[in-house]
């Protein structure tokens, strides 16, 4: 599971103050939070609420404290300078002039396990995608380098684009048991879900079921494409940082992971939690010789995701194959931990 990727937009490279201001305004409108301005242009902070990173020369500052440094890489000696900064700065911004991927691969290898975040500079969305996926782990983020605010529209998808890929497994449904009433929670987000996309939820942290959104209309209810009816409040849900929270803990403003049937993930923000008493049903499934369950509302609008389709709990049958994310170990305060934990 990858961590949330970091995206900086450099407004400080503009030719003049007015252009810098235009890039900053455009970045704010596109939803970017981390914006680099020139040191000394702090009055630009009044344009909106954002994380202002001030640049002077090749150094970056936040609230007066140095947080990073940039290195231009064109020779082996330059690469050695970048190696030297690993564990000495929080953010290492790299600008590769010739070879781009090989130096980044070397840096990712060298920085593994360090406190330094690698942020290569990109000039196109395609380049950003390559950097974020290099050696599977990818860089910790990217720095979008612009000289005109008009270029920024091409990068707007980076705010909500896939940030990670999960390996999903097929689980076989082995039991469907109707339960009595329980408190179930709908997670209403600030984003629209696509067909086959939903949230990972489960009664055991070692196996989370892909619960589809309410993007499909039914005979009796209009679609709610922003909603996942995620089930019983005791359930775990996968959040944007790779940790889990109980559904009962989620609140407006929290970030959760939207996941599709291919395992592609993106971050969505919780707008509202809606908990009501409803009839429940427990779905038990077998994966990797283990038995796992999820408790959901017993209604036709609740669907589990399978490859290429979503199956309503009212139509689910024993023997059906559904998508899950299985893990070894357990969770301690939402954090994955290699410990023998048995949840039934």
3-state secondary structure of 53: strand
Nearest to 280 by CA among 194, 150, 179: 179
**Overall average pLDDT of the 180-200 stretch:** 96
Q: Give the pLDDT of residue 332.
A: 43
3-state secondary structure of 44: helix
What lies within 8 Å, CB to CB, of 198 at 6+ separation is 210, 211, 212, 213, 228, 258, 259, 303, 305
Give the integer Cα–Cα distance in Å for 274 and 24: 36
Domain spanning 6-161: which CATH class is it, in words?
Answer: alpha beta
State yes or no: pLDDT of 10 exceeds 60.
yes
- Binned at pLDDT 50, 70 and 90, residue 136 comes out as low
Q: What angle do CA 188, 315, 268 make, to 5 degrees?
A: 20
Q: Which has more confidence, 129 or 248?
A: 248
Give the integer Cα–Cα distance in Å for 197 and 192: 10
Give the pairing type, strands 65-73 and 91-96: parallel
- Binned at pLDDT 50, 70 and 90, residue 1 comes out as very low
Place of tokens 């389709």: 309
- Binned at pLDDT 50, 70 and 90, residue 336 comes out as low
Tens of pLDDT, residue by residue over 45-67, are 999 999 999 999 999 999 999 99
Domain spanning 169-337: which CATH class is it, in words?
Answer: mainly beta
- Looking at residue 26, what DSSP letter applies? H
Tens of pLDDT, residue by residue over 75-117, are 889 999 999 999 999 999 999 877 778 888 999 999 988 999 9
Q: Give the pLDDT of residue 26.
A: 85
Whole-angstrom CA distances from 207 to 127, 129, 196, 344 are: 35, 29, 19, 11
Give the integer Cα–Cα distance in Å for 160 and 145: 19
DSSP H or E stretch at residue 290: strand 290-297
**Overall average pLDDT of the 178-202 stretch:** 96
Domain ranges of the chain: 6-161, 169-337
The pTM for the full model equals 0.65
Q: Maximum distance among all alpha carbons in the chain?
A: 68
End-to-end C-alpha distance for the chain, whole angstroms: 24
Tens of pLDDT, residue by residue over 205-240, are 989 999 999 998 777 778 999 999 999 999 999 998
Calculate the average pLDDT of the chain: 88
Q: Give the pLDDT of residue 151.
A: 62
Place of tokens 């994310």: 325
DSSP letters along 172-184, please? EEEEEEEEEEEEE
252 neighbors 274 (Cβ within 8 angstroms): no
Tens of pLDDT, residue by residue over 273-296, are 999 999 999 999 999 878 999 999
Q: Phi, psi (5° rounding) for residue 337? A: -140, 135
Q: Cβ–Cβ contacts within 10 Å for residue 53, how many? A: 23
State yes or no: pLDDT of 270 exceeds 80.
yes
Percent of the chain with pLDDT over 70: 88
């Amino acid at each position: 599971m990858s961590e949330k990727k970091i995206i900086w937009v450099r407004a400080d490279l503009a030719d003049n103050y007015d252009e810098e201001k235009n890039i900053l305004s455009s970045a704010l409108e596109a939803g970017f939070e981390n914006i680099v301005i020139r040191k000394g242009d702090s009055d630009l902070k009044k344009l909106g609420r954002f994380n202002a990173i001030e640049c002077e020369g090749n150094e970056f500052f936040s609230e007066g404290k140095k947080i990073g440094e940039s290195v231009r890489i064109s020779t082996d000696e330059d690469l050695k300078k970048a190696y030297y900064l690993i564990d000495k700065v929080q953010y290492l911004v790299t600008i590769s002039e010739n070879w781009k991927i090989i130096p980044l691969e070397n840096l990712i290898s060298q920085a593994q396990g360090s406190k330094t975040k690698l942020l290569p500079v990109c000039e196109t969305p395609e380049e950003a995608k390559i950097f974020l996926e290099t050696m599977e782990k990818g860089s910790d983020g990217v720095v979008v380098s612009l000289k005109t605010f008009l270029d920024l529209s091409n990068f707007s998808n980076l705010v909500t684009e896939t940030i990670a890929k999960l390996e999903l497994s097929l689980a076989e449904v082995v039991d469907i048991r109707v339960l009595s009433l329980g408190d179930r929670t709908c997670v209403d987000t600030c984003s629209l879900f696509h067909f086959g996309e939903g949230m990972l939820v489960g009664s055991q942290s070692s196996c989370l079921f892909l619960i589809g959104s309410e993007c499909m209309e039914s005979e009796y209810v209009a679609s709610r494409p922003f909603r996942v009816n995620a089930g019983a409040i005791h359930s775990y849900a996968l959040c944007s940082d790779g940790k889990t929270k109980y559904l009962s803990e989620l609140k407006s403003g929290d970030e959760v992971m939207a996941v599709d049937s291919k395992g592609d993930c993106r971050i969505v923000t919780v707008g509202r939690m809606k908990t009501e008493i409803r009839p429940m049903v427990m779905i038990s499934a077998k994966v990797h010789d283990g038995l796992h369950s999820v408790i959901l509302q017993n209604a036709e609008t609740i669907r589990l995701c399978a490859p290429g389709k979503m199956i309503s709990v009212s139509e689910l049958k024993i023997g059906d194959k559904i998508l899950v994310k299985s893990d070894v170990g357990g969770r301690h305060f939402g954090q994955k931990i290699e410990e023998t934990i048995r949840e039934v």
